[in-house]
Amino acid sequence: MTCKALTILLLLFVAGCGRNPPEALPPEPPPEPVPPPPAIEMRDATPLDVARAVNHAMADTVENVLPAVVVIRTESTRYFVDWYGRLLREAQRPVGQGSGVIIDPEGYVLTNFHVLHGGQRIEVILEDGTAYPATLVGKNEPTDIAVLRIESEEERTFPTIEAGDSDKIRVGEMVMAIGSPFSLSSTVTQGVISHKGRSESFLPIVDFIQTSAAINPGNSGGPLIDIEGRLIGINTLIRTAGGMNQGNIGIGFAVPSNTAMRAAELIIGGTEGIEFSWLGVVMQDTREGVLLTRIVKNSPADEAGLEAGDLVRRVNRKSIRSGQELSSIVRLGRPGDILTLEIIRNNRSMTVPVTTSLMPQTEIQFR
């Protein structure tokens, strides 16, 4: 066969293929899904299996909470007079940085009031780096709690954190602190609840949660969360070694979430958050109940006839084991609530109704 004939045959073959394309191959079936690994029975789990499960659970918790944690930066403008008597304005300069957490999809942010001290302009930075201006909705200085509102031109629903019950958290439970220490945003530290009901002269009316989770400058206002990602405290202050050593030594304090959320509720509702109830007593924990050691003159406790030496066993039929529990019941209620205290006085059981009142802002005197 000549080369010319061979070329003609090849052309006819190609043309024929073009007119009669082969049938399309059927699509490949999708791969079968890989079933999840079977659950490990605890009796069969190795220590490494348990550690791995806890590790993944805590990482998942942080991943879910981080979008609701924000960096708060404050700036100030300084005015001064030059040599010619002219009033000049210095460019805005940063005066502070702290942390906060979004508690409402409309952009309400819970933080410490001291984070905002001296700031004239407030900026909130989300976990994705988006920055928004914010305004101060209100403050509650006795608890060092403040609420901001994010100013957004577009309609946006902000990620929020779930509030937990700080009264139910137990000493020894694992917790995590999230914030921006030393300008390092989205920093997570882990520890345990070291104690509950701590009092500090900085905020004498707050029963602090003490934690071993590392808290440093810049963490203030950030959330303390349990292993399920619920807010159980607002990181507020630390104990340091003093002098030049102002860093973390494993003793940090957080405002309990029940107190912080109550203050936020009052602030958002249009008050300055000072409407905390009180009894007017000094207490001491005992194995049998809460011992009243001093009574404030003209306080609700005084008017109800309570006396130093009374032992409180139950409040509204609920057993009381510590002064912190009694304080929480009182402060999380509303002024005017009637509390029924079951007490022991001179080895006799008594029931005393007490009507709480608004905590005074003046100096108190003991009976």
Question: What amino acid positions are annotated as catalytic residues?
Answer: 114, 144, 220
Ramachandran region, residue 273 (left: φ > 0; alpha: ψ -120 to 50; beta: rest): left
- Separation in Å, CA 40 to CA 45, 301, 322: 6, 55, 40
Residues in contact with 188: Cβ distance below 8 Å, sequence separation at least 6, in sequence order: 62, 176, 177, 178
SS3 284: strand
Residues in contact with 297: Cβ distance below 8 Å, sequence separation at least 6, in sequence order: 364, 365, 366, 367
How far apart, in whole angstroms, are the C-alpha atoms of residue 317 and residue 36? Answer: 48
How far apart, in whole angstroms, are the C-alpha atoms of residue 218 and residue 234? Answer: 12
Q: Tell me how crowded residue 193 is: count the other CB atoms within 10 A of its CB.
A: 23
CB 276 within 8 A of CB 359: yes
Tokens of 137: 């909705």
